Amino acid sequence: MVRYKALAGVVALSALAAACSGGDSDSSAPAEAASETATAPAAPADTGPPAADDVATLDGVEYASLTGDKTAGKLVFAKCRTCHVTDPGVNRIGPSLAAIVGHEAGAIKGFNYTDANKNSGITWTEDKLFQYFEKPQRVIPKTKMIFAGLPDAQQRADLIAYLKDPS
């Protein structure tokens, strides 16, 4: 019986890790992500996080160049749902993302943020979210969020379209 509980725990943790890392069932995804990483301009490792008003992405794509699709964004949000919801006032492992656009980082009531997040000086504009969703640890080092990010620019734009109006 103990063996089955241990196995169930390992399976559950694996599923959580896959969800938080943006794991896809598409076997070509890692190869595509690797090739995008190889051709994308690398950010200098020793410069620290971008300034609160800096919205430059690692892949060089500008948010304004894309049109987000709310329906597709709802599907992308499935990767976030393990930790976040869009219901106002409902915090889980991560804070509620209700009305996140225009909100100050680290200020959702009832959620215990890291000092890095609370003191980032960031206001979640669409452009800043676009940059953050690409690689959260780059934008706010030492954040609790373990999600690796969304390298696909269109998925980031779609997610923002959904978060603007999750109804």
* 126 vs 117: CA distance, rounded Å: 17
Residue 79 lies in a domain: yes
Residue 69 lies in a domain: yes
Task: Read off the pLDDT of each residue in 151-162 and give the average, rounded to a whole number.
Answer: 98
What are the pLDDT digits (tens) for 7-29?
Answer: 444 444 444 444 444 444 343 43
Task: Read off the pLDDT of each residue in 118-145 and give the average, rounded to a whole number.
Answer: 97
Q: Identify the domain containing residue 153 by its residue range.
A: 53-167
pLDDT-derived band of residue 3, with 50, 70 and 90 as boundaries?
Answer: low
Task: Read off the pLDDT of each residue in 25-49 and give the average, rounded to a whole number.
Answer: 47
The percentage of the chain sitting over the pLDDT mark of 90, rounded to a whole number, equals 71
Say what the pLDDT of residue 72 is.
Answer: 98
Residue 32 lies in a domain: no
Specify the DSSP element, H or E, that contains 138: helix 136-139
pLDDT-derived band of residue 44, with 50, 70 and 90 as boundaries?
Answer: very low
Nearest of 74, 36, 38 to residue 153 by alpha carbon: 36
Residue 164 lies in a domain: yes
Residue 111 lies in a domain: yes
What are the pLDDT digits (tens) for 51-75?
Answer: 999 999 999 999 999 999 999 999 9
Q: How many domains in the chain?
A: 1
Task: Kindly state the tokens that stand for 100.
Answer: 């996140």
Nearest of 41, 36, 67 to residue 130 by alpha carbon: 67
Q: Which residue has the higher pLDDT, 32 or 167?
A: 167
Task: Kindly state the tokens that stand for 166.
Answer: 């999750």
Say what the pLDDT of residue 48 is.
Answer: 83
Say what the pLDDT of residue 47 is.
Answer: 74
- Assign residue 104 the CATH number of its domain: 1.10.760.10
Residue 106 lies in a domain: yes
Residue 20 lies in a domain: no
**CA 136, 141, 147: angle at the middle one, nearest 5?**
35
Cβ pair 152, 159 in contact under 8 A: no
Residue 25 lies in a domain: no
